[in-house]
Amino acid sequence: MAGTFIIAQGGGPTAVINQTVVGAVLEIRKNHPGARVLGSRHGVRGVRDGDYVDLTDMREDQLRLIGRTPSAALGSTRDKPDAAYCELVLKGLQKIGADAFIYIGGNDTSGTQQILTDAAGGKIAFVHAPKTIDNDLVENDHTPGFISAAEFVAGAFLSVDLDFRALPGIYVGIVMGRHAGFLTAASAAWRLDGDSGPHLVYVPERAFSVDRFIDDVKATMAKHKRCIVAVSEGVSTADGRSLVETIVGSDKVERDAHGNVKLSGSDLNRAFEQALAERLPGKRARVDALGYMPRGYIGAVSPVDAQEAFDAGAFAAGVAAEGGGSVALQYDGKKTVFRKVPLSSVAAKTRHMPDDYLRKDTNDLSDAGLAYLHRLVPAKYQVGKPFV
């Protein structure tokens, strides 16, 4: 097909999501001479509103520079279209004469593409290209964006652990992740030895208890003279409520338009600070959220991640020519391979950490969990062992 290809980016940016745009554009230009390639600004919102940037003739060196730049160069959106919104998007696509719509995002994006597919009646190819630092898409071994984010987190905890060897105390680092603990688990990827932090890793896949946490910290301090903790912002208590909601109260907690509890405020920091101050008084303690750094810090863009994100875009162009679907990064036992899977198989599902990636007895990764991380995020820096 020559035709018109629309590309958009949705959800939280990543360090390499622009590579996927560039991979798709270059593949389309190669395989479909004469095709028009438009980037929609701010995801489906740009399609709805007819707000495009024309990528058809943009110079390749310019495109490749955009590819190397973190965050979503086309802009992104948090809009999760319902049926009425999807109808407006479909009208927008029809108006511009689209033959294919490649939407780069997480499981919500795949869901949007499924709704659009059903509504369009086969006239437009809808493609979902994966991205998410949360690494929580089913059908995927891992997702573009995760490796760079994981490298940042691994480097951050390696660095903080070195810092706390020099000046001992308790450190709690809060890492993005509402439902899946992969990114928090990455904190353990670059531990130097048995004394290295993080000593405790709390993920949403395991119920969190403040009592247990305090006991864990005490035991770690006794053993290592310092305690480095990695915790997902989305950890939940045994009743299934998020820790933030449990602490702040269900009636007082902030929620977004979709009813999701807002995890990003300082409530969680404060809760950890207070628990440590009250129950381990006199101990030096610091609680920090890593915030947005993992998803787009310009100094931690992984070349492997960048290449995979680019290849995912190129593969998405092929899926568009085949009528649509979701692009999945799978592992064949030796390398990452790209496969087309049905949109519905990814939509509205969340991939959690496999149970055997976590230890049964302690809040830590199992050997299987560490093996997975070491395959994706092998050690990057040589480090000298401190004298303390």
Annotated binding-site ranges for diphosphate:
12
Q: Which residue positions form the known binding site for substrate?
A: 132-134, 176-178, 233, 292-295
Does 134 qualify as catalytic in the annotation?
yes
Return the closest-CA partner of residue 383 out of 151, 158, 154, 150: 158
Question: Among 25, 66, 86, 263, which residue sits at the site for its own copies (rule: CB under 8 A)?
Answer: 66
Contacts of residue 183, Cβ cutoff 8 Å, sequence gap at least 6: 133, 134, 135, 146, 149, 150, 153, 175, 176, 177, 232, 294
Active-site hit among 79, 108, 134, 305: 134
Q: Which residue numbers belong to the known binding site? A: 12, 107, 132-134, 176-178, 233, 292-295
Query: In sequence order, what E strands does the chain have?
Result: 4-9, 36-40, 52-54, 100-105, 125-130, 170-175, 200-202, 227-232, 285-289, 324-331, 336-341
Count of residues engaged in binding its own copies, rule: CB under 8 A: 64
Q: Is residue 387 near its own copies by the rule CB under 8 A?
A: yes
Would you say 280 and 217 are in contact if contact means Cβ atoms under 8 Å apart?
A: yes
Instruction: Rule CB under 8 A: choose which of 94, 159, 260, 362 binds its own copies.
Output: 159
**Residue 13 binds its own copies (CB under 8 A):** yes
Task: Tell me which residue of 139, 180, 151, 171 sits closest to 280, measured CA to CA.
Answer: 171
**193 binds its own copies per the rule CB under 8 A:** no
End-to-end C-alpha distance for the chain, whole angstroms: 65
What strands, in cross-sheet order, belong to the sheet with 100-105? 52-54, 36-40, 4-9, 100-105, 125-130, 324-331, 336-341
Stretch that binds its own copies, among 215-223, 227-235, 306-314, 377-385 (CB under 8 A): 377-385
Choose, by CB under 8 A, the member of 31, 56, 209, 264 that binds its own copies.
Answer: 264
Contact 25, 319 (CB under 8 A): no
282-321 mask for its own copies (x: CB under 8 A)?
----xxxxxxxx-xxxxxx---------------------
Nearer to its own copies, 269 or 350 (CB): 269
Residues 195-224 close enough to bind its own copies by CB under 8 A: none
Per CB under 8 A, residues contacting its own copies are: 9, 12-13, 18, 39, 41-42, 53, 62, 65-78, 151-152, 155-156, 158-160, 162-163, 165-167, 171, 264-266, 269-270, 273, 286-293, 295-300, 381-388
Active centre residues (catalytic): 134
